[in-house]
Each structure stands twice: as structure tokens, then as C-alpha cells.
Structure 1
């Protein structure tokens, strides 16, 4: 039975992707060094928020996710970040491959709100693996990759911010229901407002949230 081990060696923001994308570098080791013809992996990535500290400003921004800091002993639970599939090419002993993770800047997603709240430091991640290995020197043998295989990694917050800035420079993004969007379009049209920024600012001024 082949024993597999996984190590995440780095991460980068992919500058040429159509949308926000992180690329994790994964090292896979097979022991003993049997010929691995292919490795079909399922990779689940979780955020482990209890494994870092938070400034007061970060804690305030995380209130909607975890509540007040006094409650964090019971509310600072792992968050699902991504679930992707990876096909690792054939190797013997050890190989490195990319784990491509499409991301979103949708602030309705808990992981996005978490990343956005962090000002600096690192994001504690846990990568969980399972899948199927095709091994053998004189033919094919099918082996499972057990569910208990995992790799911890601390992703720099600046990498997330770099990725977001590549696709949404100096701006944010929100998703609205169709009827709300239609109402905003009509509001902007009636007042001949030249941009969405001025449309939102006009609404905030009318609500007393901003001084004209």
C-alpha cells in the first residue's frame, strides 16, 4: 500500500486568470517510491480562524461572522473556503503540482468577508485530501487516498489582497437581487446620475448617512 504525504509550499495570485484565482503549490510524496501513473485528488480547503490573533479593528469587522470577541471561544469555528479537484501527473517518489482555486469577491460569502476583514499577517488554512491513485511498476493498481491526509498552510493576507486588486482595483463588489437592481437602474435614470458611485452616494445622502 502506497503512503502519500502532502505539503503546501506556497501560493500566488494568478495575474492572467479571467477571474480572481489563487494557485497553491503542492508537493506530493509517495512512499515507498513506487511508480504513480496518475493521482486524482479531491482537495477541500478550510479556514481555521482560531489559529491566529486579531487586532481590535479586525475583530470589529468580524462581528457579523463570529459575534463579539467575548463569544469567540464557542463561535470561532472553521469556514469552508474551496473544494477543487486536481489531476496529478505520473511521478516516482515526489512531485510538485499546482492547485488552482477560483475565488470570488462576493461579500455574501463567509470566507470572502473573513479575508476582507484581515489587515495583515497570515490566514491559517487546512487542506484536506482524498481521491484515487493509479500505481504499479508492472501494471496498474488502484489505491484510495485516505480521508485523513491533510496539510496546513499559512497564506499571507497580502496575497489575497493582491489577487483582489488585480480584478477589482480600488473597488468592491456586491450582488443584488434582480428587482433591487432594476429599482436602482430606474433611480439612476430618473436623476440622470453619471455613475453607480454617485447613485449610491445620493441614496446614502438621502438616508442621512452622508453629508452632501
Structure 2
């Protein structure tokens, strides 16, 4: 039976995608090279491990929306599911290196986006959990199929700077905010009545009015 190991060696931003996309350089090592691999239908669950890094400065405040007050982080900091990814590898003998594509969202209703945005520097501790099917030929040339062992995983620390560079490339000088339809219609109506040129100016006017009325 084929035995595979996995390691993430690097990451880069795909600059020519229709939506934000990271490409993780994945190295797949065949620990049984006498059984050449024809193809791997690979699935990957990617999790964020918040307890594997320190938090400084404004990060405590920026992450309070996600984890609550820092005094409670001993209870609230838990592993978070970020996303799932999948791909098919080419045939290989001892090892191969492929790009694992991971689509990224900038929706601030999603916990992972809040976490990435809340970090000022450093990196994001990730854990990649692998599963899927391995197609290979045995010693007599017969086609065989086996499953990737459920214990196969690897850790990688994604630089926060890579995430920020990606979002700046796809959303230059802006952030992406999703509103419920009724809230959007109210804001749109306010903007039209006030004759304001952009939604940003409508929000800024409302925020200034709220600040001025605050005790």
C-alpha cells in the first residue's frame, strides 16, 4: 500500500484570478517509491490554530469581536475551521510538488476574515488535514486504489503580510462589507435623500452625527 507524507513549503498570491486566491506549494512524498503513484484525488481541511501564537498591541481589541475579552481567551481561543480545498496530482514516483489553490473570502461576517484582519504582524498558524484517494499500480502492474491515512497532516505559518498583500491587490484601498438587504435599502435611501456621492460618505456622515450627539 502506498504511504504518502505532506508538507507545505511556501505560499504565494495568484495575481490573475477572478477572486482572491492563495497557492500553497505542497510537497507530496511517496514513502513507498517502489509503487509509483498514478494520481491522487486530494482533499484538504485547513484549520486556524489561534493558540499557537502570541497577541500584542491592538490585536487584543481587534479580536475581541471574535474571542471576547482577553481575560477569557484561555476558554475561547479554539481551533477554527478556515476552509476546504481539493486538487488532483500528476503521476509521480518518489515525490512531487504542486500548487494547492485556496480561495479566500473578504466577507467580515466570516470568522476567518475577522481573525486575519485582526492581526497586525507575524503569521497565522495553520493546520492542513489531508484525505482522499490514491491510484497506483502494484508490483504486478495491477491498478490499485487506497485511501490517505486520516493521521496525515502538516502545519504551516502563513505570513500576515501575504494575506494583506493579496487583499490589497484584489480590493485596493478598500474593505468588503456585506449588509442585510433591509439595512442596505435604508442606507441607500439615506444616501439618495442627502444627495451624497458614495456609500462611504453616507456612512461617514452618520458616524459624525452619532459622535456629535454622544455625551
Instruction: State the TM-score, normalized to the length of structure 1.
Output: 0.95
Deviations along 1:107-136, one digit per CA (max 9) or x if unpaired, are: 110010000011111110000000000011
Q: Distance in 2 between matches of 1:183 and 1:139?
A: 66
Do 1:123 and 1:156's aligned partners in 2 also have CA atoms closer than 8 Å?
yes
**Structure 2 spans left out of the alignment, 5+ residues:** none
Tell me the equivalent position of 1:80.
Answer: 81
Out of 184, 189, 193, the position equivalent to 1:181 is: 184
Count of matched residue positions in the alignment of Structure 1 and Structure 2:
211
Aligned-pair Cα RMSD in Å: 1.4
Tell me the equivalent position of 2:96.
Answer: 95
**Structure 1 spans left out of the alignment, 5+ residues:** none
Deviations along 1:7-63, one digit per CA (max 9) or x if unpaired, are: 000111111111111110100011210211100011000000100001031011111
Q: Distance in 1 between matches of 2:146 and 2:45?
A: 20
- CA gap of 1:204–1:120, structure 2 versus 1, over 3 A, is same
Do 1:204 and 1:210's aligned partners in 2 also have CA atoms closer than 8 Å?
no
Give the match's secondary structure for 2:83.
strand
Tell me the CA shift for residue 184 of structure 1: 1.4
Deviates more, 1:175-184 or 1:40-49: 175-184
Tell me the equivalent position of 1:17.
Answer: 17
Tell me the equivalent position of 1:149.
Answer: 152
Q: Distance in 1 between matches of 2:212 and 2:87?
A: 47
Map 1:121-132 onto structure 2 (within 5 A).
121-132=122-133
Do 1:46 and 1:125's aligned partners in 2 also have CA atoms closer than 8 Å?
yes
Give the match's secondary structure for 1:164.
helix
Q: Distance in 2 between matches of 1:188 and 1:143?
A: 59
After superposing on structure 2, the runs of 4+ consecutive aligned residues of structure 1 that deviate more than 6 Å are none
Q: Distance in 1 between matches of 2:124 and 2:212?
A: 33
Tell me the equivalent position of 2:108.
Answer: 107
Deviates more, 1:70-79 or 1:155-164: 70-79
Tell me the equivalent position of 1:4.
Answer: 4
Do 2:188 and 2:199's aligned partners in 1 also have CA atoms closer than 8 Å?
no
Q: Distance in 1 between matches of 2:63 and 2:161?
A: 18
Deviations along 1:51-107, one digit per CA (max 9) or x if unpaired, are: 000103101111121122222222110111110111111111100011101111111
